[in-house]
Structure 1
Amino acid sequence: MHDTHTLVHICDLNDWSNARQIGEYRPVSLNEAGFIHLSTPQQAHLPANRLFRGREDLVLLRIDPALVGAEVVWEPGVPTDPESMLFPHLYGPLPVEAVTAVEEYLPEADGSFAPLTE
């Protein structure tokens, strides 16, 4: 069973600002892959280290999955993720109303992202 109480998404502050203006977050990755990459709070550091190492312009969106309005499918990540780990993927745009909190998401001094402490 998956923890579906809170999901998270990492994006840059400019993309989130644009989403707030239009009412939904629709990243380029949605067009390429057909879904928005989400994580549980316990998984967020894995894609952060793979995709965003050293970036200091990121925010962490905390999402209520009951408010997304599109299907969330739990699917495998990449081969370097822990065996049998599944990630939530949102097949549709993310309404800004589904975002319950926005937090600055900064790397450690070495550029890596630590696991979230929640």
Structure 2
Amino acid sequence: MKHDLNNKNFERKAKRVYSVFACVTLLLVATAVPALAADDPLTVVNNLSDFIFSLIRAIGLILLGFGILQVGLSLKSHDPSQRANGMLTVAGGIVITFTKEILTLITG
């Protein structure tokens, strides 16, 4: 008897999960709005490139801040290995932050 109750509860939960999933899927399909693209494909590529490089710049700034934090904490705790890791993180953050400028400088 107890096994039958657990089985019925499981079936109810499965039906509920399936119905919620079906409703969410139907909602997503029904409210899909077509994206209007720009006329010039080169403009689209340039906009995507600018967006990606802005994300890369944000990641670089986060790494730069984390590296500065590591160096500061290493100075407080007198830990030379942490100081070296902090300096490498700062250098990596600077390189990642200025990736677009470095690539522009290399390619001309």
TM-score (norm 2): 0.18
Q: Using CA pairs under 8 Å that are at least 6 residues apart, name the structure with larger relative contact order, 1 or 2.
A: 1
Higher Cα Rg, which structure: 2
- The structure with the largest helix share of the pair is 2
TM-score (norm 1): 0.17
- The structure with the largest strand share of the pair is 1
